[in-house]
Amino acid sequence: MITFWKNGTGLHEISTPEKNCWINVVNPNQAEIQQLTEKFLVPPDIVSDILDIDERSRMEIDEEWLVIIIRIPVFDRGNGLPYYTVPFGIILINSYLITLCCIQNEVLSEITQPVRNKKIDFENKINFILSLFLSSSKTYLKYLKQINAETNAIEKDLEKSTRNKELQKLLKMEKCLVYFITSLKSNELLLAKLRNSKFFNVNSYNDDLLEDVVIENKQAIEMANIFSDIQSGMMDAFASVISNNLNVVMKQLTSITIILMIPTLIASFYGMNVPNFLEKSHMGFGLVIFISVALSALGLFFFKRKKWF
């Protein structure tokens, strides 16, 4: 899907591309990719790199274009990992600013919402790129809080669980954090490289906006590292908890088996084909039942006293 945006009182969508407009491309089909390469003269290898899910964060500067690829967070409950990262490309070419991503994401939602886009400085391309960086960092922070909330919910289930299902959920959250940390650090290196590039040196930009981007990105890295360290320790701790819970269940089942064995043992002795005094008494069956219940109750009392139940 291709949309075209222009600056006015804020960003607003237009039907056809104009000079100095923003072209946003999300999950393009083959015809839209061909339009990018033929009409807007974007190099085909750049398009294929950005659409590669494993592409790293980097920057390329040519005489005719500038390409910046960052890693942004994506949430998809239907995916194997609910939180992961994908490449997001920013291309400056022939007075167009083009953004390209292989999937719909919340980073662009932060930019295009009418309530917020009035603050976006689109005329200054550097400020707009920094706004995308800032939106990406805020989305990381938002998803990190969601991961922490989901981890806390899994933790409550793990306290009473004897299954591996909750541990597998926790492992997925830890993998999400690893992807986030790797992408955030690569974005931090890219931002440092961008700040030292000639593109930054020859153009003016908002110092406060740049400072906000640096602070938000560092905060996201620190939060991801903290959550990752907590989850690593939690995985080891709860693996022991699950094993201990299983031992408790086995101990209880063993105690029940022993108690049920007592009346079975007495009934077996009574049913043996040997003479005994109970056979001569009309209360023999009742005495067997009484002895079985009494010994079973005594065993139950013993196990409760030992806190095996």
Cα separations in angstroms, 65 against 5, 62, 96, 193, 278: 20, 5, 10, 17, 104
Average of per-residue pLDDT values in the chain: 79
Q: How far apart are the C-alpha atoms of 4 and 97, rounded to whole Å?
A: 10
For residue range 203-247, what is the model confidence (pLDDT) as tens digits?
A: 677 788 888 888 999 999 999 999 888 877 776 766 676 677 677
Q: How far apart are the C-alpha atoms of 241 and 35, rounded to whole Å?
A: 57
Which of 201, 220, 244 delimits the end of a domain? 244
Contact criterion met (CB below 8 Å) for 193 and 59: yes
The CATH number of whichever domain residue 163 belongs to comes to 3.30.460.20
* Same-domain check for residues 135 and 250: no
* DSSP-assigned beta bridge partners for residue 6: 12
* DSSP-assigned beta bridge partners for residue 2: 25
Which of 244, 261, 287 delimits the end of a domain? 244
Reported confidence tier of residue 277, pLDDT bands at 50, 70, 90:
low
Task: Quote the pLDDT of residue 114.
Answer: 57
* Same-domain check for residues 149 and 92: yes
* Same-domain check for residues 34 and 178: yes
* Same-domain check for residues 145 and 125: yes
* Same-domain check for residues 175 and 298: no
Domain holding 125, by residue range, is 2-244
* Same-domain check for residues 270 and 133: no
Name the residue with higher pLDDT: 12 or 50: 50
Contact criterion met (CB below 8 Å) for 70 and 187: yes
* Same-domain check for residues 151 and 276: no
Confidence check: pLDDT of 3 > 70: yes
* Same-domain check for residues 235 and 249: no
Reported confidence tier of residue 258, pLDDT bands at 50, 70, 90:
confident
Q: How many domains does the chain have?
A: 2
Which of 193, 228, 244 delimits the end of a domain? 244
Q: How far apart are the C-alpha atoms of 23 and 2, rounded to whole Å?
A: 7
> What is the model's pTM?
0.74
* Same-domain check for residues 220 and 85: yes
* Same-domain check for residues 162 and 278: no
* Same-domain check for residues 287 and 173: no
148 three-state secondary structure: helix
* Same-domain check for residues 240 and 251: no
Q: What is the mean pLDDT of residues 106-129?
A: 69
